[in-house]
Amino acid sequence: MNEKLLQFIWQYQYFQNADLRTTDGEPIAIVKTGMPNSNHGPDFLEARIRIGDLLWTGSVEVHVEASGWIKHHHGEDAQYKNVMLHVVWKNDVRSKKKMPPCPVLELQPLVPRLMLQQYSHLMKHGGFIPCDKSIAATSPLVLTHWKERLLTERLLQKAAPVLEGIQQTGGHWEEIFWRTLARNFGIIVNATAFEEMAVLTPLNLLAKNKHAQVKIESLLMGQSGLLEDLFQDEYPRMLQQEYRLMSMKYQLRQSPVKPLFLRMRPLAFPTIRLSQLATLVYQSSHLLSAILEKDKIEDVKDLFRVPANDYWLYHYRFDNAATFKEKILGEDMVNNIITNTIIPVLFAYGQQKNEPKYKQRALNWLLQMPAEVNSIIRAFSRLGVKVNDAAGSQALIQLKNQYCRTRRCLECAVGAALLKNA
């Protein structure tokens, strides 16, 4: 037994509570278990409990062993004066000296053994997730509500760095969108390198050079440190020349993090991604404002179906000729950008501007996006947990990363249902 589990058992009343009595034999009826308190003070506040003939309102303190009251010096702490019930797993104190003057409720004899076994299994079991044998049997209603909460939690989590950036830049939404978008174009391996490049290549610098796509491309490649070699082809030499001129003119500082090419599909090489990003910057101005005006997700997708520059029809890296291949940003990558950049920024925008319509649109768009395909979603699918859209896949990613990995089963609706039904 641990205190967290005991608090959980008290909060959800997972014990036999018919003919409940204190250790002194007085009858108890729980009207309200109280609000969990994560700050200093008793574990539950504003509980309502009938003890004997009197209805009490006050705090409840929970300890695995009753002697915890003495060990933690609660008797000397004014915050605990309002405690009206001491809930313990085991009453290991016989003398009432130093103990709170309130009644004691001992839960050990009242909690089903099966529930404890189920909890122990969740805390010890290996595998993809601790409840891998049971999650598929969770009631669809419980799972649906829980996934909705997880999705909101994930969107809030993803919106947090956006809102932080907005604070730091004094409310420059387009700039933060540019950095977030560039990071997304780097897809995990080069995310930091691309974001650093975007921070050092602000939108006003790009705007000054928007009359020529090649200038934008040379800025993005050069700022990423990809124009440092001795090149054979005319195209990279021209980009290099352009970059050197602009570097001197604007006193540019290159990103300290250079993009990597290792273990990557050629279509995702940083050269190809940066060229596509350059086309996007060249073709659109005030991109976030344009997105905010769109109602339909298909219209947003159209903005992002951009090609790399013509040189890249026959290349994946500078100076390395290859067979012809168009390098238009693919459907999967566009979906990825919508799920991981556009929707979180839209949600953050609605939150900061207090405009619920943007948050609602973010949720609607997620429901229209296909579920992501990755190792987490594949593993859930093998366990019988299916998802139909990106809203579902985002919720399951949140579940796995924020709950299952650290065994927060007591805070999870699936865990609560499993323990309740044990």
Interacting residues toward ligand SF4 by CB under 6 A: 122, 129-131, 135, 399, 403-404, 408-409, 412, 414-415
Nearest by Cα to 271 from 205, 218, 323: 218
Q: How far is the CB of 159 from ligand SF4 (least distance, A)?
A: 23
Nearer to ligand SF4, 84 or 412 (CB): 412
Task: State the nearest-atom distance from the C-beta of 149 to ligand SF4, in Å.
Answer: 12
Residue with Cβ nearer ligand SF4 (90 or 407): 407
In the complex with ligand SF4, the residue whose CB is nearer, 296 or 405, is 405
Degrees to nearest 5, angle at CA 187 with 405 and 299 = 110
Compare residues 329 and 416 and give the one whose CB is closer to ligand SF4.
Answer: 416
Report the nearest approach of ligand SF4 to the CB of residue 402 (Å): 9
CB of 347 to ligand SF4, least distance (A): 24
Give the closest residue to 327 by CA, choosing from 279, 278, 276, 280: 276
- Minimum CB separation of residue 417 from ligand SF4 in Å reads 8
Q: Residue 197: exposed, middle, or buried by beta-carbon count in 10 A (0-12, 13-18, 19+)? A: buried
How near is the Cβ of 145 to ligand SF4 at its closest, in Å? 14
CA geometry: angle at 153 spanning 417 and 367, to 5°?
A: 90
Nearer to ligand SF4, 362 or 395 (CB): 395
Of the pair 146, 311, the CB lying nearest ligand SF4 is at 146
Closest CA to 161 of 175, 147, 180, 178: 180
Closer by beta carbon to ligand SF4, 311 or else 380: 380
Closest approach of Cβ 401 to ligand SF4, in Å?
10
